[in-house]
Amino acid sequence: MNNVLTLKRLVCKHCGAELSGLSDSITFQCKTCYRYFIITPEGLKDIAVYTAIGKEQYKKQPLMLPFWLVEVDRKLLRKEIEKSLSELRKLNSSIAKTRLEKNPEDENNILSWNLHTGTEKLHAMANTSSHRSIPGSREIEYLLSTIESFKSFFIYIPAFISRNPFAYLKIGKLLTKKQPSFEIEQSTLPGKPVMCVLQQDEAVELIDFIFFATLPSSILKCGDFLNPISLKVSGSPRLVLFPFQKRTNSLFSLIGEFSVSSSLIVNVT
Amino acid sequence: MDKFIDGENNSRNPRETFGVTCPSCGGSLRITEGQRSIQCEYCFSNLYIANPPGVKSFFLKPRITAGKAKLEALRWISKKSNGRVKAKYTSVVEHKLVHVPFWRMRGRFIGWICGEEVKLKKVETNTSTARGEIRRQVLKQESTPFSKFVSRNVDWSAPACVIKHLGMQGISMKASMLKWEIFNHDFKTTMNIALPTKSAKTAKRDALRHIINLAKPSGANIRASRFHLFGSNLSIYYFPIYLLRYKFKDKIYIITIDGNNGNIIRAEVPGRKKLNPTTFFFIPAVLALLTETYFPLLFITVGCIYIMDQLQGNRITMPHLWLKYRLQKWFGGN
């Protein structure tokens, strides 16, 4: 039952030199060969850390914040969305049929729906409590086509420390929604500690929440539609450092081009 | 260089510390909760905290002795009973130190809830009757669809075993300010430890249920929800508690004392016997009636009651002791 906390030496597996890092983070860099390591439940493991490079050169040294980049399987996402939609439609039609059998007086109302447009029909259905609300098919098609228009669709999961868990949703949502274009290169520069506190497995568990946060409120309110949907990861997640610029009370993402309150990442002094 | 504030320096968010040993020099070190690496202050070697998955156990050494706990308890009883129950009238039957296990779940919680907020609204309706149109106010149920994200830091704790008269619901507040030691299972032979009866699975389920209940808006129909706890760890904390049993007037009372600071957690104090107004009215009235009619009748009645009590008790009590007992029974008091 007891799994005792023990201390182990922070030594590079390749050259035997000491590793350095920040006290709260789980990633460390070797002082001599500049390789990165991460603490996992199994012990210390090698990890490749990448740096995102924007189009412009930065005048000031930016603050590099780590994110897990998780690529989503778009084909499976489309399938899941279509499946959820068709199942809900079936369910709604069966509910309408049973109601019709119970209360034939409603027949006129239900038949009159055929004369209305899709949205009117949806509103009418949503007003009845037993009906499950379904997002508009055009809205869903637009969402899917937007996701498919990118070369690959990534979910950005903040891996830095924050006392406010809302930061994970907010910053992850802003970058995921934007899907910025940038280049990445493996980071091997000396003296660059990575402030990563989130394990890869934990990051993968958060992708659904960050994806949901990017959705418009009209879709988010259709709980029965979203409930069965879960994103599938394609490829292994990457730990990427994104440049942020410190401003008076905010942090500006040089790649995402948005600002967030620095209080969300309060630990940066 | 940008640097993270260390937990120990942040006075607004105190974090508990645990004692560990350096693998290189054997030096005694203290690590702060959430810290992942440390430099040994004796041999300066960089070390990381291997945190294997599963439940970790910690314990706290008692800071007060059994004698001090007993003294504190007696002082408290005397104070609470307005000096009625003093040390000379009470005898401590048993006092022991027990390390009581508490489950504690810490982490970050993220969730998404979707449903309908149900509100009752007063609506005026016009109904036509033979007398004309009547306005009526009808309560109508209005439901508005909603969707919200929840994110918060979680610190939940609950007792891991059932102890009567414990008086503690959790240790979250206390735990963050104390210096804990890593629990070794060999301690079970040397220390008085209450074994956890609630499994880790049940504790996890209870914690999650508690957090979800806090996150869910009241008066809403939940259609769909998704919750996740990340960066979480479930641990067992053995907290020292003194259990003291004392005897007062043939009755046993229990007091639980915090083994860390000597505060009384829960205590039973002998209650003062409530005075019955009927007894106070009827007994003097009967006595007065007997005295008025024929004075020796009072002594005859008292004598009869005395003989009846002796017969019922199957033993002979001295008349003055019997009278004291009877008066106490009728009028209460010490």
**Residue B50, C-beta contacts closer than 8 angstroms, at least 6 positions apart:** A5, A6, A7, A8, A39, A43
Q: Which two tokens stand for residue B2?
A: 């940008």
Q: Which distant-in-sequence residues (6+ apart) come within 8 Å of B102 by Cβ?
A: B157, B158, B159, B160, B168, B170, B171, B236, B237, B238, B239
**B65: which 2 tokens?**
């002795």
B90 in Cβ contact with B245 (< 8 Å) = no
Which residues make Cβ contacts (< 8 Å) with residue B306, sequence separation at least 6?
Answer: B319, B322
Q: For residue A205, with 0-12 CB atoms within 10 Å meaning exposed, 13-18 middle and 19 or more buried, which class applies?
A: middle
Chain B contact set for A169 (CB, 8 A):
110, 149, 151
d(CA A6, CA A12): 18
Q: What are phi and psi of B117, to 5 degrees?
A: -85, 125
Give the tokens for residue B70.
């007993």
DSSP readout, A56-73? SPPSS-PEEEEEEEEEB-
Q: What is the DSSP string of B15-60?
A: --EEEEE-TTT--EEEEETT--EEE-TTT--EEEEE--SSBEEEE-
- Average pLDDT of the residues in B287-293: 80
* Percent with pLDDT over 70 in chain A: 84
The predicted model gives B119-147 an average pLDDT of 80
Q: How far B5 CA sits from the closest chain A CA (Å)?
A: 6
B216 and B113 in contact (C-beta within 8 Å)?
A: yes
Q: How far apart are CA B107 and CA B151, in angstroms?
A: 11
Q: How many residues does chain B have?
A: 334
Quickly state the pLDDT bin for A60 (edges 50, 70, 90): confident
B99 pLDDT more than 80: yes
CA distance A114 to chain B (A): 25
Scan for tokens 């940066």, then name that residue. A268
The minimal CB distance from B50 to the residues A6, A25, A132 is found for: A6
pLDDT tens for each residue of A74-117: 999 999 999 998 888 888 888 877 776 766 555 455 444 454 55
**pLDDT-derived band of residue A208, with 50, 70 and 90 as boundaries?**
very high
Over residues A12-49, the pLDDT tens digits come to 988 988 888 777 888 998 888 888 999 888 888 999 99
Residue B152 contacts residue B84 (beta carbons within 8 Å): no
Q: Which of residues 157-186 of B touch A (CB under 8 A)?
A: 182-185
pLDDT of residue B12: 47
Q: Which residues contact A194 (CB under 8 A, 6 or more apart)?
A: A21, A25, A27, A29, A36, A49, A64, A66, A239, A241
Decide if B53 and A197 are in contact by the 8 Å CB cutoff. no
User: What is the mean pLDDT of the segment spanning B210-217?
Assistant: 85
The lowest-confidence range among A121-135, B57-71, B99-113, B229-243 is A121-135
Tokens standing for residue A8? 């182990």
Q: Which two tokens stand for residue B111?
A: 């969730």
Query: What is d(CA B31, CA B58) in angstroms, rounded to the nearest whole number?
Result: 13
Q: Please say if the pLDDT value at position B274 is more than 70.
A: no
- Secondary structure class of A24 (helix, strand, coil): coil
Q: How confident is the model at residue B190 (pLDDT cuts 50, 70, 90)?
A: confident
Q: How confident is the model at residue A71 (pLDDT cuts 50, 70, 90)?
A: very high
Residue B31 at interface with chain A, using a CB cutoff of 8 Å: yes
> Residue with structure tokens 């409530």?
B274
pLDDT at B10: 42
Q: Which residues contact A65 (CB under 8 A, 6 or more apart)?
A: A158, A160, A195, A241, A242, A244, A251, A265
Mean pLDDT score across all residues of chain B: 81
Q: Which helix (H) or strand (E) holds B62?
A: none
**Model ipTM?**
0.80
Q: List, as ranges, residues 214-233 from A with C-beta within 8 Å of B.
A: 217, 220-224, 226-227
From the list B36, B47, B112, the residue facing A212 with the nearest CB is B112
C-alpha to C-alpha distance for A46 and A13, rounded to whole angstroms: 8
Rounded distance between C-alpha atoms, residue B257 and residue B73, angstroms: 7
The stretches of chain B forming alpha helices (DSSP H) are 66-80, 172-175, 187-190, 200-215, 277-293, 296-313, 319-331
Provide the pLDDT for residue A158. Answer: 92
Going from the N-terminus, what domains does chain B have, and what CATH number goes with each? 3-54 (3.10.660), 59-267 (no CATH), 277-331 (no CATH)
Is the pLDDT reported for residue A57 higher than 80?
no
Q: Reading across the β-sheet that carries A6-9, which strands appear in turn?
A: A6-9, B46-50, B37-39
How does strand B220-248 pair with strand B56-59? parallel
Tokens at B263, concatenated: 């505060």
Q: A197 and B231: CB-CB below 8 Å?
A: yes
Q: Is A264 exposed, middle or buried (0-12, 13-18, 19+ CB in 10 A)?
A: buried
The predicted-structure confidence for A114-152, as pLDDT tens digits, reads as follows 545 555 555 555 455 566 778 888 888 998 899 888 888
Q: Chain B: give the shortest CA distance to residue A7, in Å.
A: 5
Residue A66 has what pLDDT? 92
A169 burial level (CB within 10 Å; 0-12, 13-18, 19+): buried
Which residues of A, range 96-125, sit inside 8 Å of B by Cβ?
Answer: none
* pLDDT per position as a tens digit, A259-269: 888 877 755 44
Q: Which residue has the higher pLDDT, A204 or A101?
A: A204
User: In 3D, which of A44, A47, A36 has the Cα closest to residue A6?
Assistant: A44
- Choose among A23, A163, A267: nearest Cβ to B36: A23
What is the rounded distance in angstroms from the CA atom of residue A130 to the CA atom of residue A99? 10
Which of A184-188, B6-10, B108-112, B323-327 reaches the highest mean pLDDT? B108-112
Confidence of residue A205 (pLDDT cuts 50, 70, 90): very high
Tokens of B5: 């504030």
Compute the average pLDDT of residues B109-135: 82
- Give the residue among A26, A41, A17, A21 at the shortest CA–CA distance from A161: A26
**Helix (H, G, I), strand (E, B), or coil: what is residue B227?**
strand
Residues in chain A: 269
Task: Please give the pLDDT value at position B119.
Answer: 80
Whole-number pLDDT of residue A3: 56
* pLDDT(B2) > 70: no
pLDDT digits (tens, 9 = 90+) for B24-72: 898 888 888 778 888 888 998 888 888 766 788 888 888 899 889 888 8
What pLDDT is attached to residue A267?
53
